[in-house]
């Protein structure tokens, strides 16, 4: 039997690589002759970097500016002339000092520094995995790191963060890094939200980053102003980017990438499948095991586990889900492509204990799963 294990991270406990390895150990303990292919996956957000490194990309480290301006050590990955930048590495919520939100002041400057490092290394295709951003700056910080200038009425650079976008009076893009023009940029995201309005970056994702109702309104107005001044400097392409699906991803970074760098958006799950050569590695499998920390209704909207299950379904390969917990009905799980579902909370109902012992619980689940396969 040949089994492909392709799971996303179990948030708060295990990376995708750790999760697939734990499941693999459990299955091997019960079925030692089984051929197992371990493929960590992601949806374009957090975990994308690890998935590509596991697939053969080379990891590089840089000291860059974190979301509040403090230095952080962040990674990116390259293979040939292709780079993968995970926004959360330099500009993510997890990097906020003391886990204190800064919804108005957090910046994506560090992500721009990573992009610049990749360009200097000779990369001509840059994939930016959007997700987990700490702020809502429309990608302005990222663009400043690449050489753009956003000036106030006195000709001085505006402060970092989303709130300061309201003070931009002039945009200068002639100082953009020389490598930008010859590079192609890809936004990896399954989020289809526009930049502004009730479904926009501030309204939908701002509260997750600590923004109260007043902050959300302030950020939405600031983003609208930013879009206007950038549109004046660039032209119609910027105006089109405001309404483009995905322009509201990662605090509006999608808009900044589309408007200023002509980035195009691709499904994060499908892109990770391509980068990890998933389809070829899936061929000939007798079973796919996929999952993530929690399978819920958000998972059905394009998250990695469901997208991966559907790829196997298209080939007629049965799929079993393994997750920490789920609130989906059996019918919903079946419709998503999972013939059977195992949850760690069935083994350990206490959430904290479950998180602390996720690796051992996954091994146990893998062993149980394999024993059930033997009986069937």
CATH number at residue 140: 3.90.1510.10
**Token pair listed for 239:** 């105006």
Residues 97 and 192 in one domain: yes
Residues 248 and 347 in one domain: no
Ranges under pLDDT 70 in the chain = none
Residues 152 and 245 in one domain: yes
Residues 222 and 255 in one domain: yes
HEC string of 130-179 equals CCCECCCCCCHHHHHHCCCEEECCCCCECCCCCHHHHHCCEEECCCCCCC
Listed residues 236, 251, 268: the one ending a domain:
268
Count of Cβ atoms closer than 10 Å to residue 147 Cβ: 16
pLDDT given at position 237: 85
The pLDDT tens digits for 259-287 are 999 999 999 999 999 999 999 999 999 99
Return the CATH number at 307. 3.40.50.10350
What is the distance between the alpha carbons of residues 99 and 82, in angstroms, rounded to a whole number?
Answer: 33
**Which three-class secondary structure state does DSSP give residue 31?**
coil
The pLDDT tens digits for 17-68 are 999 999 999 999 999 999 999 999 999 988 999 999 999 999 999 999 999 9
Residues 95 and 226 in one domain: yes
**Token pair listed for 219:** 């950020």
**Token pair listed for 231:** 């549109």
Count of Cβ atoms closer than 10 Å to residue 351 Cβ: 13
Residues 89 and 129 in one domain: yes
Listed residues 268, 303, 334: the one ending a domain:
268
Residues 31 and 126 in one domain: no
Residues in the chain: 376
Number of domains in the chain: 2
Listed residues 206, 241, 268: the one ending a domain:
268
Among 136, 122, 199, 128, CA closest to 165: 136
Residues 173 and 307 in one domain: no
pLDDT given at position 376: 80
Residues 25 and 85 in one domain: no
In terms of Cβ atoms closer than 10 Å to its own Cβ (0-12, 13-18, 19+), residue 155 is: exposed
What is the distance between the alpha carbons of residues 365 and 376, in angstroms, rounded to a whole number?
Answer: 16
The whole-model pTM stands at 0.93
Residues 230 and 122 in one domain: yes
Spatial strand order of the sheet with 125-129 comes to: 58-65, 71-79, 82-86, 125-129, 184-188, 264-266
pLDDT given at position 29: 97
Residues 264 and 138 in one domain: yes
Residues 212 and 358 in one domain: no
Domain extent for 171: 48-268
Q: 343 Cβ partners below 8 Å, 6+ apart?
A: 322, 323, 324, 325, 326
pLDDT given at position 131: 85
């Amino acid at each position: 039997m040949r089994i492909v294990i392709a799971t996303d991270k179990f948030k708060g406990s295990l990376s995708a690589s750790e999760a697939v390895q734990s499941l693999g150990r459990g299955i091997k303990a019960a079925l030692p002759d089984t051929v197992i292919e371990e493929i960590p996956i992601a949806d374009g957000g957090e975990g994308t970097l690890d998935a590509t490194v596991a697939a053969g990309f080379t990891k590089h480290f840089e000291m860059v500016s974190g979301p509040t301006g403090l230095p952080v050590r962040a990674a990116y990955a390259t293979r040939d002339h292709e780079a993968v930048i995970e926004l959360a590495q330099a500009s993510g919520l997890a990097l906020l000092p003391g886990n204190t939100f800064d919804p108005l002041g957090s910046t994506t400057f560090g992500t721009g520094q990573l992009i610049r490092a990749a360009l200097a290394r000779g990369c001509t295709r840059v994939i930016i995995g959007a997700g987990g951003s700490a702020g809502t700056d429309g990608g302005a910080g990222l663009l400043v790191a690449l050489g753009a200038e956003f000036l106030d009425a006195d000709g001085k650079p505006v402060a970092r963060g989303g709130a300061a976008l309201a003070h931009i009076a002039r945009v200068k893009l002639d100082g953009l890094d020389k490598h930008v023009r010859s590079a192609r940029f890809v936004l990896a995201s399954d989020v289809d939200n526009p930049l502004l309005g009730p479904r926009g970056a501030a309204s939908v994702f701002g509260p997750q980053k600590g923004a109260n109702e007043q902050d959300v309104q302030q950020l939405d107005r600031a983003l609208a102003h930013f879009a206007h001044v950038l549109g004046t400097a660039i032209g119609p392409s910027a105006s089109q980017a405001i309404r483009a699906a995905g322009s509201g991803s990662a605090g509006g970074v999608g808009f900044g990438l589309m408007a200023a760098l002509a980035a195009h958006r691709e499904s994060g799950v499908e892109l990770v499948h391509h980068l990890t050569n998933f389809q070829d590695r899936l061929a000939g499998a007798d079973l796919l095991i996929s999952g993530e920390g929690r399978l819920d209704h958000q998972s059905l909207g394009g998250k990695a586990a469901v997208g991966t299950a559907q790829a196997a379904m298209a080939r007629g390969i049965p799929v079993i889900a393994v997750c920490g917990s789920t609130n989906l009905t059996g019918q919903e799980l079946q419709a998503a492509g999972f013939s059977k579902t195992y949850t760690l909370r069935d083994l350990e109902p206490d959430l904290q204990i479950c998180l602390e012992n996720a690796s051992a619980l996954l091994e146990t689940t893998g062993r149980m799963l394999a024993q059930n396969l033997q009986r069937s």
